[in-house]
Amino acid sequence: MGSSLRELTTERGSVPSVVLVRPQMGQNIGAAARAMLNFGFEHMRLVAPRDGWPNPEATAMASGASVVLDHAGQFPDLGTALADCDYVYATTARSRGLVKPVLTPEAAMAEARAMIAAGKKVAVLFGPERAGLENDDVAHANAIITVPVNPGFYSLNLAQCVLLMAYEYARQTSDTPGARLELAGADLATAQDVQHLGDHFEERLSKAGFFFPEDKAPSMKLTLRNMFSRWGLTRTEVQILHGVLRKLVGRDSSGGS
Amino acid sequence: MGSSLRELTTERGSVPSVVLVRPQMGQNIGAAARAMLNFGFEHMRLVAPRDGWPNPEATAMASGASVVLDHAGQFPDLGTALADCDYVYATTARSRGLVKPVLTPEAAMAEARAMIAAGKKVAVLFGPERAGLENDDVAHANAIITVPVNPGFYSLNLAQCVLLMAYEYARQTSDTPGARLELAGADLATAQDVQHLGDHFEERLSKAGFFFPEDKAPSMKLTLRNMFSRWGLTRTEVQILHGVLRKLVGRDSSGGS
């Protein structure tokens, strides 16, 4: 179990800790653990969980993420839970009459990332399912995170809120931040393959009288060539197109209709 | 109901449509509707929902987001559902042996945003809960979206996957992209208030012999002044600090211990 944790992060403390304050339902604790592990968050702290700890319902719900629960710390109060933390965010939907900076998840996780890179310990607080964090909880935090939801509709549950923070943190720390673009399963044809396919097309289409009138032929040919190169054809697709061409334009003695 | 939809987006089609392909559980359809509405996605299309449509379990789960279900289109097959769409993304965790661009949610929603701004209709496909999209479904899509999760753990459910796409789209289209930083409930003190507080501190601390040795006094005073201005004090806090000062440093005839 410990080794699978170590595979996730190169060093302990390299992601924020998730602090669940007075969580109520065991299954929500388990769902939060799952949400976390999707994005490599593995440090959970529990403050006064309503139904005690460990909680079999949490473990059942966590399933493959039970490693997060196995390593979760349990604390009697929030002050104790945060004793070793350098910077603390409180997630809350409402402005509280407390004077705190209010950040989006994006801005907060950017800050958190910088602080963690500087060796700081960062925690994010999540309140009980029903009522959220109380003012006394928020007073422990350096800043507030509010998810910028539709002003007319807010229905994020605990695990979804945890999910968004972990997603946002992972998004920003990704090796390929937002620009990952690849072709799945591609065995791409070489430029020469594509060139030969263009030659084949031109040859067959010329014989079939396709390039007419003559003064339009060069631009028609250019359009064809450009299409083939733009498509990013695979080897298999090139072979299929050769076959299509033989069938459609004729003269292939082995061909049918 | 229609009017509350209109409040969400300035015009129809200004966000991607969510297409649930052969969804199984009604409650997951309802949860997807809730996830959508949090971030202003209100166009849902249902392709061959397993338990028929409308579905009372979906409506019960959707709760305040039932407006999304009321306007959801139902279609017998994916081709019909996508007939009017200009660009289609398929969400899938697995590479399929199909040659498609694979994008992160971030890259895909950036593209989608640009296409929608150019007047295109964009759809995002989500597969059935148990098995996800099949190759025949993915073949309808122009590109694949894969959420870059922990390679060792993937457990996003349907509503969570929908949530991440809607969050990502809303994040990028936000008026305050990631940099929203404000003070909640702040009635900030004026610079003059803060200046007076600094004066008060210096006066009292000088009388108490705090600024010692004398050659260090200027830098001690500067540090105090700088702290006060950096803190972003409110009027109330300034008053409290004046009171604290009177109590601690003495000479206030009205004060106690």
pLDDT at residue B11 tops 50: no
Do B37 and B154 reside in the same domain of the chain? yes
Residues of B in contact with A186 (CB under 8 A): 99
- Non-local CB neighbours of A52 within 8 Å, separated by 6+ positions: none
Cα separation, B40 vs B14, whole angstroms: 10
Query: B87: which DSSP letter?
Result: E
The verdict on a CB contact (< 8 Å) between A99 and B171 is: no
Strand ranges across the sheet with B181-183: A73-75, A44-47, A17-21, A122-126, A87-91, A143-145, A101-103, B181-183
Q: Which helix (H) or strand (E) holds A164?
A: helix A158-173
Do B209 and B130 reside in the same domain of the chain? no
Share of chain B above pLDDT 70, in %: 82
Of A201, A49, A158, the closest CA to residue B160 belongs to A158
Do B176 and B205 reside in the same domain of the chain? no
Highest mean pLDDT among A8-12, B137-141, B253-257: B137-141
Residues A168 and A105: beta-carbon distance below 8 Å: yes
- What's the domain range around A246? 191-253
Nearest residue of chain B to residue A151 (CA atoms):
B38
Residues of B in contact with A234 (CB under 8 A): 99
Tokens 């490599």 -> residue: A40
The mean per-residue pLDDT over the stretch B167-174 comes to: 88
The residue out of B136, B153, B184 marking a domain boundary is B184
Task: Band the pLDDT of B249: cuts 50, 70, 90.
Answer: low
Do A177 and A83 reside in the same domain of the chain? yes
Tally Cβ neighbours within 10 Å of residue B114: 11
* Shortest Cα–Cα distance, A123 to chain B (Å): 19
A98, A148, A179 ranked by CB distance to B107: nearest: A179
The predicted model scores a pTM of 0.77
Of A163, A111, A117, the closest CA to residue A141 belongs to A111
- Non-local CB neighbours of A162 within 8 Å, separated by 6+ positions: A18, A32, A35, A36, A41, A126
Of B171, B223, B191, B77, the closest CA to residue A167 belongs to B171
Do A244 and A138 reside in the same domain of the chain? no
- Per-residue pLDDT, B230: 64
CATH number at residue A35: 3.40.1280.10
pLDDT at residue A82 tops 80: yes
The mean per-residue pLDDT over the stretch B18-34 comes to: 98
B8, B101, B107 ranked by CB distance to A183: nearest: B101
- Per-residue pLDDT, A237: 79
- Per-residue pLDDT, A1: 34
SS3 B226: helix
Of A61, A54, A70, A77, the closest CA to residue A125 belongs to A77
Residues of A in contact with B170 (CB under 8 A): 148
Do A204 and A98 reside in the same domain of the chain? no
Task: Band the pLDDT of A56: cuts 50, 70, 90.
Answer: very high
Do A175 and A211 reside in the same domain of the chain? no
Tally Cβ neighbours within 10 Å of residue A127: 22
Q: Which of the two residues, B111 and A227, has the higher pLDDT score? A: B111
Among B92, B180, B188, pick the best mutation site for testing chain A contact (most A Cβ within 10 A).
B180
Residues A12 and A116: beta-carbon distance below 8 Å: no
pLDDT at residue A221 tops 90: no
**For residue B101, what are its two tokens?**
């661009």
Among B6, B28, B38, B94, pick the best mutation site for testing chain A contact (most A Cβ within 10 A).
B38
3-class secondary structure per residue, B149-187: CCCCCCCCCHHHHHHHHHHHHHHHHCCCCCCCEEECCCC
Split into its structural domains, chain B has a count of: 2
The mean per-residue pLDDT over the stretch B91-120 comes to: 86
Q: Across all residues in chain A, what is the average pLDDT?
A: 83
How many cross-chain Cβ pairs, A to B, lie less than 8 Å apart? 160
Residues of A in contact with B100 (CB under 8 A): 183-184
Which range, of A151-155, A211-215, B82-86, B227-231, averages the lowest pLDDT? B227-231
Where would I find the beta strands (DSSP E) of chain A? 17-21, 44-47, 73-75, 87-91, 101-103, 122-126, 143-145, 181-183
Residues of A in contact with B4 (CB under 8 A): 152
- Per-residue pLDDT, A167: 97
Do A195 and A79 reside in the same domain of the chain? no
- Per-residue pLDDT, B238: 83
The verdict on a CB contact (< 8 Å) between B106 and A171 is: yes
The mean per-residue pLDDT over the stretch A29-54 comes to: 97
The residue out of B184, B209, B227 marking a domain boundary is B184
Residues B165 and B124: beta-carbon distance below 8 Å: yes
B104, B153, B170 ranked by CB distance to A64: nearest: B153
pLDDT at residue A124 tops 90: yes
Among B34, B98, B106, B150, pick the best mutation site for testing chain A contact (most A Cβ within 10 A).
B150
A65, A99, A150 ranked by CB distance to B39: nearest: A150
Task: Band the pLDDT of A195: cuts 50, 70, 90.
Answer: confident
pLDDT at residue B185 tops 70: no
Share of chain B above pLDDT 90, in %: 49
- Per-residue pLDDT, A135: 86
Among A91, A180, A231, pick the best mutation site for testing chain B contact (most B Cβ within 10 A).
A180
B107, B153, B185 ranked by CB distance to A99: nearest: B185
Instruction: At B24, give phi and psi (nearest 5°).
Output: -95, -65
Task: Band the pLDDT of A95: cuts 50, 70, 90.
Answer: low
Cα separation, B180 vs B170, whole angstroms: 14
For B149-168, the pLDDT digits (tens) are 998 899 999 999 999 999 99
B4, B38, B102 ranked by CB distance to A155: nearest: B38
* Shortest Cα–Cα distance, A103 to chain B (Å): 5
Of B109, B94, B88, B100, the closest CA to residue B146 belongs to B94
Residues of B in contact with A39 (CB under 8 A): 149-150
Cα separation, A164 vs A162, whole angstroms: 6
Do B16 and B67 reside in the same domain of the chain? yes
The mean per-residue pLDDT over the stretch B140-148 comes to: 90
Which range, of A122-131, A213-222, B222-231, averages the lowest pLDDT? B222-231
The residue out of A184, A210, A226 marking a domain boundary is A184
- Per-residue pLDDT, A210: 79
Instruction: At A40, give phi and psi (nearest 5°).
Output: 75, 15
Do B43 and B11 reside in the same domain of the chain? yes
pLDDT at residue B89 tops 70: yes
Do B206 and B224 reside in the same domain of the chain? yes
Nearest residue of chain A to residue B95 (CA atoms):
A184
The mean per-residue pLDDT over the stretch A230-235 comes to: 73
Q: Helices A191-207 and A235-249, interaxial angle, to 10°?
A: 10
Cα separation, B197 vs B191, whole angstroms: 10
The mean per-residue pLDDT over the stretch B96-103 comes to: 76
Where would I find the beta strands (DSSP E) of A39-168? 44-47, 73-75, 87-91, 101-103, 122-126, 143-145
Do B13 and B126 reside in the same domain of the chain? yes
The verdict on a CB contact (< 8 Å) between A167 and B164 is: yes
For B67-78, the pLDDT digits (tens) are 999 999 999 999
The verdict on a CB contact (< 8 Å) between B179 and A107 is: yes
Is ipTM > 0.85 here? no
Instruction: Provide, for chain B, the percentages of residues in helix, strand and coil under a 3-state DSSP scheme, each rounded to the nearest 5.
Output: 45, 15, 40
* Shortest Cα–Cα distance, B208 to chain A (Å): 31
Q: Which of the two residues, A94 and A139, has the higher pLDDT score? A: A139
Task: Band the pLDDT of B106: cuts 50, 70, 90.
Answer: very high
pLDDT at residue A40 tops 50: yes
